[in-house]
Amino acid sequence: MTAFTDPARRYRSDPGHPEACNVFRLHNFFTPARVEEIASECRSARIGCVDCKKILAESISSNLEPFRERRAALDSKPGYVTQVLADGANRAEVIAEETIREVKEKMKLLQRADLERHR
């Protein structure tokens, strides 16, 4: 609730200027369906800065809910993330080794390396 809002709005009954408010800008991302409504209510002093912040907090929380659910699902499977990362690293290693071999072959580095080994 300490976020900086409209500097010209000193009292709840003062009309707001949403275009000058940092909190209001965040509504474009988190509450896009209500941006015009919130702007209108702010300009007419039907809502205050605290009300605007509460709406934003609820919207942010709602937007983050799928991430919290996914994290809880992953948290319920100990070792799953580690296994996924290990599997990915193993697959990437095979691909990287093949890519490096192809690069060396095209640059004719394999032939030089083979010659050096046989000396």
pLDDT tens digits for range 50-98: 999 999 999 999 999 999 999 999 999 989 999 999 999 999 999 999 9
For residue 106, the model assigns a pLDDT of 86
Express as a percent the part of the chain with pLDDT over 70: 92
Q: Is the pLDDT of residue 114 over 60?
A: no
For residue 110, the model assigns a pLDDT of 72
Residues 6+ apart with CB under 8 A from 13: 45
Gap between the Cα atoms of 25 and 17, Å rounded:
11
Which pTM was predicted? 0.68
Nearest C-alpha neighbor of 42 from the set 2, 12, 7, 1: 12
Q: Is 77 exposed, middle or buried (0-12, 13-18, 19+ CB in 10 A)?
A: exposed
